[in-house]
Amino acid sequence: MAGLAAGLANATVNASTVLILAGLGELISERAGVLNLGVEGMMLVGALSGFVVTWVTGSYWLGMGIAITAGGLMALLHAFLCISLNSDQAVSGIMLTLLGTGLTTYFGNDWSGRSIDGFPEVTIPVVGEYLVEIPILGSALFQSTATDYAALLLVPVVWLFLYRTNIGLELISVGEDPETADTMGVDVFKMRYLAVILGGMFAGAAGAHLSLAFNGIWSATMTAGRGWIAVALVIFARWRPGRILLGAYLFGLFNALQLYSQGLNLSLGPGAPLVGVVNPVLEFVLNPTIMSTYPYLVTLLVLVITVVRAENRELAQPSALVQSYSREAD
């Protein structure tokens, strides 16, 4: 059982890094009032560009840098369309996902089937070898790639940035009430551009983590819907960085349980009462395919609770989310 738990913990942590990175990026963008449905496309572009650069130059750090830049560039397009041209944020985002998927599938054809030595697993200096010995969670948390550590570290960094710096607070203010922020001298357009581009850079890094650390290969549409889960995750986290971590582990656990669910035999013994009712229900509920819908269903539930209990401003969504801002608007 301990082996199973450790395996589960390992799979959970592994699956969560990409969600933490992409989720934090989406969160930053949404806190400034811009929904980004292009995460999936930005992740794919990050994954391919990072992979190609690493393959050519041998440097996975350079690959990561290029992936972050590529994600930021795609986000720049989203920012231009949504902020400068007042385009529909949802449509622009879906366009970017289509574009990212199309471009990477089209140009990535020749790159699939190759593998690289990406980010190696490392332990923290000095204390690392002891931390790894912690039962169940030790190797999951403390024998990871640099990108895993970085993702964990970025959670408090993003929190500090948003809540403890002037830029961060200005960024939040343009997502809540752009008119007032503008009157107070905050450059709404600049702030939103900054947030969207930062968000895209996170998405690019999330994609590069997949191809450079998690898998070490490139294959078309390798993000497999994780970008969409990141969008759901931000709602689940109610737009708070700390909860992104919690949510990413929960969603990661669902993912890990899918891998292990064949090993979990929770059905009742043949003599137990109601066996004919309970076992089919358990079988359905624990079916790996059915389990993969849980993150979405939980997100929907959270979304409903958030809106129904809107008087609780502390946990509501940014007021100006999905609203474009223009000065001459009456």
Partner 1 sequence: MKLNVDVTPRTDVPRWMRYGTPVFTILAALAVSAVALVALGVSPVEAYYVMFVQTLTTNFGLTNTVAKAVPLIFAGLAVYLPLKAQLWNIGAEGQLFLGAIAGTWIGLNVSLPMVALLPLMFVGGALAGAAWIAVPAWLRAKLGINEIITTLLFVFVATEIKNYLVRGPLQAPTANFPQSAQLPAAAQLPDIPVVGYPVGIVLAVVLVAVTYLLVNYTRLGYEITFIGANDTAAEHAGMSKFKIYMIVLMAGGAMAGVAGVSELSGVQGRLRASFEPGYGFTAIPIALLGRNGAFQVMLAALFFAVIFVGGSSIQTLLGVPSAIVDIMQALIILFLITSEFFKQYSIDLGIERAPDPGAPGQPEGEV
Contact residues toward partner 1 (CB under 8 A) are 35, 37, 81, 85-88, 90-92, 94-96, 98-99, 101-103, 105-107, 109, 220, 225, 228, 231-232, 235, 287, 289-290, 292-293, 296-297, 299-300, 303-304, 307-308, 322, 328
CB of 185 to partner 1, least distance (A): 20
CB of 176 to partner 1, least distance (A): 17
Residue 275 or residue 307: which is nearer to partner 1 going by CB?
A: 307
Task: Report whether 14 contacts 20 (CB < 8 A).
Answer: no
Residue 134 or residue 307: which is nearer to partner 1 going by CB?
A: 307
CB of 203 to partner 1, least distance (A): 16
Task: Report whether 68 contacts 204 (CB < 8 A).
Answer: yes
Residue 94 or residue 268: which is nearer to partner 1 going by CB?
A: 94
CB of 101 to partner 1, least distance (A): 6
Residue 95 or residue 116: which is nearer to partner 1 going by CB?
A: 95
Residue 147 or residue 299: which is nearer to partner 1 going by CB?
A: 299
CA 99 to chain centre: 19
Task: Report whether 96 contacts 74 (CB < 8 A).
Answer: yes
- As a dihedral over the C-alpha atoms of residue 60, residue 64, residue 66, residue 72, rounded to 10 degrees, the angle is 180
CB of 221 to partner 1, least distance (A): 10
CB of 7 to partner 1, least distance (A): 24
Task: Report whether 312 contacts 24 (CB < 8 A).
Answer: no
The whole-angstrom separation of Cα 133 and Cα 125 is: 14
Residue 139 or residue 299: which is nearer to partner 1 going by CB?
A: 299
